[in-house]
């Protein structure tokens, strides 16, 4: 069994201990050097693509309008399916219901109209 020395990515120190695991099973570490500002880190940190970029949101909308579902879009763009669904939910809050669609709560709609 080969042992690997784990160094802190900030201070490059060896005073590092295991500090639990991520939900995906990846090991977390904690730097114990009091001068180091970093406390917890991952050994093989990978940036996850995010939907925060406007270009990713635009691409999600384009693919959805072409008929792709959330799973197809996530596979195409390499994004987590949950992120694609989150964009769908955000968009649904911003768009008005189609013309001719009745409100689920007629009394509330009537009160507002009479208001």
Domain ranges of the chain: 1-45, 54-94
Cα-based angle 45, 49, 51 (whole degrees, multiple of 5): 145
SS3 88: helix
Quick one: average pLDDT of 44-56? Answer: 66
Please name the residues in contact with 57: beta carbons below 8 A apart, sequence gap of 6 or more.
Answer: 51, 87
Looking at per-residue pLDDT, the higher value among 56 and 3 belongs to 56
Q: Is the pLDDT of residue 40 over 80?
A: yes
Closest CA to 17 of 3, 33, 2, 35: 33
User: In Å, what is the CA distance from 51 to each residue of 41, 45, 58, 87, 102?
Assistant: 23, 19, 10, 8, 32
pLDDT tens profile 82-102: 889 988 888 887 776 666 656
Task: Write down the pLDDT at residue 48.
Answer: 57
Quick one: average pLDDT of 44-53? Answer: 61
Please name the residues in contact with 60: beta carbons below 8 A apart, sequence gap of 6 or more.
Answer: 51, 73, 77, 79, 84, 87, 88
- Given the structure tokens 């987590």, which residue do they identify? 80
Neighbour order of strands in the sheet with 16-21: 16-21, 27-31, 40-42
């Amino acid at each position: 069994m080969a042992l690997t020395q784990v160094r802190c990515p900030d201070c490059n120190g060896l005073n590092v201990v295991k500090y639990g695991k991520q939900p995906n099973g990846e090991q977390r570490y904690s730097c114990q050097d009091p001068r180091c500002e970093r406390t917890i880190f991952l050994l093989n940190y990978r940036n996850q693509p995010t939907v925060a970029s406007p270009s990713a949101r635009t691409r999600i909308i384009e693919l959805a309008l072409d008929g792709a579902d959330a799973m197809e879009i996530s596979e195409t763009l390499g994004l987590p399916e949950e992120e694609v669904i989150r964009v769908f939910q955000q968009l649904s809050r911003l768009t008005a219901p189609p013309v001719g669609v009745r409100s689920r709560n007629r009394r509330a709609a009537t009160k507002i109209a009479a208001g």
